[in-house]
Amino acid sequence: MNAEIISIGSEHLLGEIIDTDAPYLAKRLQEMGIEVEREITIGDDEEAIASSLEEALRRVRIVVTIGGLGPTPDDITKKVIAQVAEEQLVLNEEILSEIEKKFEEEKRSMPPDNIRQAFLPRDSHPLKNRVGIAPGFILETRNRLIVALPGPYNELVPMFEEEAIPYLKERFKAKEVIKSFTLRTTGLPESKVAEELEDIMKKSKNPIVSLLAHEDIVDIRLVARAEDEKTGEKLNAEMEKRIRERLGNYIFGTGKQTLEEVIGYLLYMRKRTIAVAESCTGGLISHRLTNVPGSSHYFLGSIVAYSDRMKRDRLGVKKATLEKQGAVSEKVACEMAKGIRRIAGSDFGLGITGIAGPTGATEEKPIGLVYIALAYKDRVETKEFRFRGERGMIKAKAANAALDMVRRDLLR
């Protein structure tokens, strides 16, 4: 089973939107045992759409189109699909009734152009749109399937999950299942993770092992093929064990777990609390910690001390330390961590200071220099980091490193 995804819309080619639909569909199709062989993006041009459909129908069993199902003149996907499949567009009374009902519920009169959306290829299977107006459809032609979906992500996802997937599962009984599993790592660059797992990645064909890096997180994705789910899960579990033996505590979670969720769980289970003193990250660490529901059980508060005066007056950083060491220094980070722990009465005090850029650097203290300190009882651990990237990237990497310091300390 194979498929091709065609994203339609000139706005994609103009860089006006970021395509989140195609990656979602590729992942879901793969999980169903359907290999996505190609993804392409084309503008609102009849000839281009028709040519792309013809080519795709020669290559794959399933063609998924995204967008172009609206009521405006440039929404031509449905028209072109009907032409390629040599089908007539006919009024679907049930779909029209649903569209009219949605306008009535919103107490709006329905523009005449919206009637066009109720016209579907004669032999197509309608896909209802629970969220929006435009219906989708599945059309069989030349022993191939065309799945037409709307462009808005919040409409496409429920339509595909609730309408298209059940149809496809019934239509194509999979001979095998595909089970995916993700291990999440931090603290190692992608190149180092690849080096550590090089032999495994080359030799293992089932499951396939691949890497995906973003900021300072490297995901290790396992994809196993098997006759049934239990066998697929067993294959992934055996590979997970091998990878954990290689990478140890660099692995912080699985699936979509975040560092802040893992830290929150550890703090809660160990009955520990934390407070944060931030400078270069500007509250980003606190924001991430409080993104976790129930964080009030362990997160006591924070101070964003950007200026030297705030560091002195609010956190108790010594004037002499600031003058001698500078605001971006190991000693200042240490005093920030101890200061916030004292003020909040928390078990852990986390302090961070650095130069996010693009200004403020010197030859001795370049952009990306960050000091992080973690105070607990009568000890303070400090670390120096040198991050690369733009201002936002440096802040994100610094926050990640700080959270990882807390995680590793909790695992002691």
Q: What is the mean pLDDT of residues 314-323?
A: 97
Here the tokens at position 205 are 């064909």
Average the pLDDT over each of 75-89, 175-189, 261-275, 321-335 and give the range with the smallest value.
175-189
Rounded CA-CA distance 31/103 in Å is 36
Q: What is the mean pLDDT of residues 18-36?
A: 89
Rounded CA-CA distance 188/373 in Å is 20
Q: Decide: 334 and 380 in contact? Cβ < 8 Å.
A: yes
Q: Decide: 235 and 224 in contact? Cβ < 8 Å.
A: yes
74-88, pLDDT tens digit by residue? Answer: 899 999 999 999 999
Per-residue model confidence (pLDDT) at position 174: 63
Does pLDDT of 215 surpass 80? no
Does pLDDT of 310 surpass 90? yes
Q: What is the mean pLDDT of residues 179-186?
A: 94
Does pLDDT of 290 surpass 70? yes
The 3 state secondary structure assigned to 125-161 is EEECCCCCCCCEEEEEECCEEEEEECCCHHHHHHHHH
Q: Is 272 left (phi over 0), alpha (psi -120 to 50) or beta?
A: beta
Per-residue model confidence (pLDDT) at position 60: 97
Identify the helix (H) or strand (E) that includes residue 35: strand 35-42
Does pLDDT of 213 surpass 80? yes
Spell out where 287-378 has E strands.
299-304, 348-354, 369-376
- Model-level pTM? 0.75
Q: What is the mean pLDDT of residues 198-215?
A: 93
DSSP single-letter state for residue 22: H
pLDDT class for 15, splitting at 50, 70, 90?
confident
Give yes or no for a cis peptide into 207 (omega within 30° of 0).
Answer: yes
Long-range contacts from 127-132, C-beta under 8 angstroms, 24+ separation = 127/159, 127/163, 127/164, 127/167, 128/95, 128/98, 128/159, 128/163, 129/155, 129/159, 130/158, 130/159, 130/162, 131/155, 131/158, 131/159
Average the pLDDT over each of 155-159, 211-215, 297-301 and give the range with the smallest value.
211-215
Residue 71, SS3?
Answer: coil
Walk across the sheet containing 369-376 and list its strands. 299-304, 274-278, 348-354, 369-376, 379-386
Rounded CA-CA distance 353/326 in Å is 10
Other beta carbons within 10 angstroms of residue 404's beta carbon come to 22
Does pLDDT of 17 surpass 80? yes
Mean pLDDT score of the chain, rounded to an integer? 95
Residue type for position 115:
I
Other beta carbons within 10 angstroms of residue 181's beta carbon come to 19
By CB atoms closer than 10 A (0-12, 13-18, 19+), residue 99 is buried
132-151, pLDDT tens digit by residue? Answer: 999 999 999 999 999 999 99
Q: What is the mean pLDDT of residues 164-189?
A: 88
Q: What is the mean pLDDT of residues 124-128?
A: 97
Per-residue model confidence (pLDDT) at position 178: 82
Rounded CA-CA distance 63/137 in Å is 12
Per-residue model confidence (pLDDT) at position 267: 98
List the domains of the chain with CATH numbers.
Answer: 2-171 (3.40.980.10), 177-254 (3.30.70.2860), 259-410 (3.90.950.20)
Other beta carbons within 10 angstroms of residue 411's beta carbon come to 10
Does pLDDT of 227 surpass 70? yes
Long-range contacts from 207-210, C-beta under 8 angstroms, 24+ separation = 207/179, 207/181, 207/235, 207/236, 207/239, 209/239, 209/243
Q: What is the mean pLDDT of residues 348-375?
A: 96
Does pLDDT of 3 surpass 70? yes
382-408, pLDDT tens digit by residue? Answer: 999 999 999 999 999 999 999 999 999
Does pLDDT of 255 surpass 90? yes
Other beta carbons within 10 angstroms of residue 379's beta carbon come to 8
Q: Is 215 left (phi over 0), alpha (psi -120 to 50) or beta?
A: left
Here the tokens at position 368 are 């990306």
109-125, pLDDT tens digit by residue? Answer: 999 999 999 999 999 99
Q: Decide: 77 and 148 in contact? Cβ < 8 Å.
A: yes
Per-residue model confidence (pLDDT) at position 30: 83
Q: What is the mean pLDDT of residues 82-105?
A: 96
Residue 226, SS3?
Answer: strand
List, as one string, the DSSP characters of 368-398.
Answer: TEEEEEEEETTEEEEEEEE--S-HHHHHHHH
Q: Which backbone phi and psi does 43 adopt, to 5 degrees?
A: -85, -175
pLDDT above 90 covers what percent of the chain? 90
Per-residue model confidence (pLDDT) at position 95: 95
Other beta carbons within 10 angstroms of residue 221's beta carbon come to 14
Q: Which backbone phi and psi does 130 adopt, to 5 degrees?
A: -70, -30
